[in-house]
Structure 1
Amino acid sequence: MKMLLMSAMFGAVSAAGFAAEPPDPHGWIGTETVNTRFGDFSFKNGYPDEASAAKLRDVLLISRAMEAYLAQMPAVSWYRTWKGTAAAGDKLPNQLVIWETLMDAKTLLLTGNTETVYGLAAIDLKRDGPVVVEVPPKMLGGFSDLWQESIAGIGPTGKDKGLGGKFLLLPPGYDGPVPEGYIVGKSKTFGGVLGMRGFLEGGKPEPAVALMKSSRIYPLAQAGNPPQMAFVNGSGKEIDTLMAEDVQYFSDLAALIEQEPADIVDTSDRFLLASIGIEKGKPFAPNADQKAALADAARLASAVARANSFASTDPARLVYGDRKWEWAFIGGSATWDSQGYVNTDRRAAFAYLAVGMSPAMVDKVVGQGSQYLSTMRDGDGKYLDGGKSYRLHLPANIPVVNFWSVVVYDSESRSELRNGQPFPSVSQYTGPVPNPDGSIDVYFGPTAPAGKDKNWIRTVPNKGWFTLLRFYGPKEEFFNQSWKPDDIVEAR
């Protein structure tokens, strides 16, 4: 009886007279092989063997690199936009790239539209110090730093109230004099991007282009005698603004961290970046093994980014309870903090598909600004297939003051689909033929239905595609959802 009690208290007694260790309640790793989805790792007496330790360091490096890839995507994407814009044409300082006959599929830009005149300029506050930008009236857009944070908005809801004006962009840490007469914006980064759009008039881009060409960009130090302004026509040009999805991504991130102030990322992110070899003031020089791990991380992170953007399960993504349309800005915030914290998954979902995290693109302003719906699925929940034919029904009285448009994008590049048409879109400006009740049907497929050429967007077999439905100057019926687009349905 006494022995039984002792056994219960101290565990079973071995033949040698010593009590055996009871099962560990903490789950400690002892002498065993730990089997995981990332591999098997061998331990003896709680210590990893040499091969397992090396593999686990790789797992940690890849995990941290993937997190850095997803968290810093807005910055790396915008950095490549900044570089691609600066490299266009003659590569002159402060040049303004204008898509004078609208943006076509030769330009690689995340989900650009085909119905407004785009203007983009790369601004270098490290090279030039404070920079003056003279903005014409009737523009929509703004200035943002390289982390896509707004510096100053342009347009009816922006700092110029749509009237244009002289903006003065100040670099990080600037403490010099600020002359009067400017709309002042303080940038957190030395790199900045001016992005603006001009509206068509009578379906023509020329008036907006002429207005845009009255813009001027020059250092404040040359305000007394500004240099001649350089303009580049981006239409029909092979301009590449897209981020890499291989190990080059981390080289771009390292270059970005090196050129910008150290505190542009917080200390926890600085540690994360340093742990994968990216640290301001130190060369980014991964050895062969590290480079291979980073290449794996980039590929995995790109795959995760696609799943995050194209296969999201976030319930807030859905615009309507009974349809497949999704919000471009999930949660209704351009700063991604509508839940009381920054939701980096939502931010990454946007950044993989688009650029320009501007409040004017998401705020509810009836009759002004813009709103965006997207879908990559048909009404049955299947991904849109370039080899099949589909129809989208838009009920009568589409609720816009300015215009609406439907643009098709390549699911691989997330840029306009290269389909052989001048523009892969149907819009208020392209003259689609309405139905007798005023509604409009838009058709998608490799060939046009008979008599529907004006309402048709060609798709490409063996290519996935998705679309954005844009509302410029959305009316109340858009916001209260008394008007709703149908799902895209397969034409069987």
Structure 2
Amino acid sequence: MTQVEGARWSEFAGIEPDGNYLSDDHRQQLLEEYFFQRAVQVYLQALPIVNIIGLRDGSQARWGGGYNVLPIWKQRMDSACRVPTPNADVIYAMSYLDLAADGPLVIAAPPGILGMLTDFWQHALSDVGLAGPDHGQGGQYLLVPPGYDGPPLPGGYHVLRSPTYNVFLFWRAFLTSGEEGPETATGVAALEQTVIHPLYQSNPATWKPMRFPDASGEQVDMLFPRDGGFFDLLAEFVDYEPVEAIDLRLRGMMASIGIRKGEPFEPDARHREILDAAARLAPKLAVALNTTPDSYPGRRYYTGAEKRRWLNGFPDVDENFHAGTYLSLDHQATFFTVAYSASPAMALNIIGGGAKYPSTFWDADGEYLTGAEHYRLHLPPNPPARLFWAVTLYNPVDGTMITVDGHPIPSVNSLDKRVTANPDGSYDIYTGPSKPLGAADANWIPTNPGEGFLLTLRLYGPTHTFFDQTWIPDDVERMKP
């Protein structure tokens, strides 16, 4: 019987044939261990796919599907929505397009957004908006399905050929500063200018009217499964998409656990039990990697500074996790366990553009951050963010926003005029189960005792002092209540 929570390699290492056949019991044990280990690796390597399928299925179960449906978090995304490391300090709009069902699609992107279009490996087809070819002026994008052999494509579009039929549309619009806090009306109005329609429906009267449901405050689970259901979703994807959408080596690994294109995925009860055990273990392995500072190269942002605990979200890799001579599978797995969507603007160092996300699991003493303690994060004067900065707290295991009754958005951002600066232009941001004496309400993020958290500092439009490290955030300091 294979162990439920982990591989028994140490036990099986002693099973040697010594010139004789394996016993039937040992052979069966080894075959089950082989199946288990394959399933764990398939889970970790296919995370980008099933991660985005979780988003799609959760969204479409609540708001419906179709190229014309674009849910917008019109009052900001909050902890009611279970997605990995969402950004509460911009306005989200997310949709899921199917080029097999609808053929080539035209997307009229509105001006002033920061967005992306990705395939279902979450490989960017293009940045859109401020970091894209329309440079924030708005533009016409044409999504073309894999293997397209239809009429010649017309000019006048930014043409994007997707290797998967499924495509993720992810728009972000910016908050504006209001007297009572950040406001969303201007950004929502921009997002609602999006128009999507099939290329070969030239008459606008035939287009499905765009729908922009308000997703804010909606209880919706958009996380990927952490049980054997993961493999069922993966099998559906494998059967739907073209062969070329998945590397043959990974297809071979999938085939060894019964996932093959054109064949039903029907594991028996024993193999289903092993798949379920593998799916429970695999994300824990990724969490173990993620919470180990040097688990892969270049993770520490500030190697020359004393006691700096900040991690780099894209250390020595591009947006597809290519690290020069290899694909960083460890980094890919840790990223998609607690996050989603990667684009060139996130990985490249663009002074005044894109965004950077220093994050930490630890306080200055190297202890895990916990909601039972009180902490202060000191940001030195002039935080290097041309657009805005924000501090947000997440569950360290699945990346969802922490949930505290009465506080649905566990974040502080510089667009909020109520956030108080120190006389020298620095900021102190506080976390803890109660507000420290003298701290401004807007500078405090409540936490739950008994729950750990991941803290992320977002810098939108990072300036040169971030890149030359003449500005470095302090570590998170534990303090007395």
The one-letter code sitting in structure 1 at the alignment partner of 2:436 is: P
- Paired residues for 1:139-178 under 5 Å: 139-176=113-150, 177-178=152-153
- Does 2:155 correspond to 1:180? yes
Moved more, 351-360 or 91-100: 91-100
**Structure 2 CA distance for aligned equivalents of residues 427 and 338 of structure 1:** 32
CA gap of 1:259–1:343, structure 2 versus 1, over 3 A, is: same
**Structure 2 CA distance for aligned equivalents of residues 268 and 440 of structure 1:** 50
CA gap of 1:435–1:38, structure 2 versus 1, over 3 A, is: farther
Equivalent residue, structure 2, for 1:134 = 108
Moved more, 145-154 or 89-98: 89-98
- Does 2:437 correspond to 1:447? no
| Pairs aligned (count) | 459
- Paired residues for 1:384-463 under 5 Å: 384-420=369-405, 421-430=407-416, 431-452=418-439, 453-463=441-451
Moved over 6 A (4+): none
Of structures 1 and 2, the larger Rg is shown by: 1
Shift of 1:451: 2.5
- Does 2:292 correspond to 1:318? no
Moved more, 250-259 or 473-482: 250-259
Question: Is the CA contact 2:117–2:167 (under 8 Å) kept in the aligned structure 1?
Answer: yes
Equivalent residue, structure 2, for 1:30 = none
Equivalent residue, structure 1, for 2:360 = 375
**Deviation per residue, 1:113-149 (Å, 9 max, x gap):** 1111111011011110111111101110110000001
The one-letter code sitting in structure 2 at the alignment partner of 1:346 is: H
The one-letter code sitting in structure 2 at the alignment partner of 1:288 is: A
CA RMSD after TM alignment: 1.6
1:198 to 169, 173, 179: 173
The one-letter code sitting in structure 1 at the alignment partner of 2:163 is: K
**Structure 1 CA distance for aligned equivalents of residues 279 and 292 of structure 2:** 19
CA gap of 1:139–1:354, structure 2 versus 1, over 3 A, is: same
Partner secondary structure for residue 122 of structure 2: coil
The one-letter code sitting in structure 2 at the alignment partner of 1:479 is: F
- Paired residues for 1:68-467 under 5 Å: 68-176=42-150, 177-202=152-177, 203-225=182-204, 226-313=207-294, 314-321=296-303, 322=306, 323-420=308-405, 421-430=407-416, 431-452=418-439, 453-467=441-455
The one-letter code sitting in structure 2 at the alignment partner of 1:320 is: Y
- Which fold has the larger relative contact order, with Cα–Cα distance below 8 Å and residues 6 or more apart in sequence? 2
Shift of 1:93: 4.5
Q: Which ranges in structure 1 are unaligned for 5 or more consecutive residues?
A: 1-33
**Structure 1 CA distance for aligned equivalents of residues 430 and 72 of structure 2:** 30
Shift of 1:38: 4.8
Question: Is the CA contact 2:338–2:396 (under 8 Å) kept in the aligned structure 1?
Answer: no
Equivalent residue, structure 2, for 1:485 = 473
The one-letter code sitting in structure 2 at the alignment partner of 1:413 is: D
The one-letter code sitting in structure 1 at the alignment partner of 2:202 is: A
CA gap of 1:387–1:37, structure 2 versus 1, over 3 A, is: farther
Q: Which ranges in structure 2 are unaligned for 5 or more consecutive residues?
A: 1-7
**Structure 2 CA distance for aligned equivalents of residues 243 and 435 of structure 1:** 42
**Deviation per residue, 1:383-431 (Å, 9 max, x gap):** 1111111111100100111000000012243111111213101110233
**Structure 2 CA distance for aligned equivalents of residues 445 and 138 of structure 1:** 36
CA gap of 1:35–1:104, structure 2 versus 1, over 3 A, is: closer
CA gap of 1:315–1:344, structure 2 versus 1, over 3 A, is: closer
Moved more, 88-97 or 334-343: 88-97
Shift of 1:223: 3.2
Shift of 1:330: 2.4
Question: Is the CA contact 1:446–1:460 (under 8 Å) kept in the aligned structure 2?
Answer: yes
**Deviation per residue, 1:303-329 (Å, 9 max, x gap):** 111112222422410000230000111
Partner secondary structure for residue 144 of structure 1: strand
Question: Is the CA contact 2:376–2:478 (under 8 Å) kept in the aligned structure 1?
Answer: yes
Partner secondary structure for residue 393 of structure 2: strand
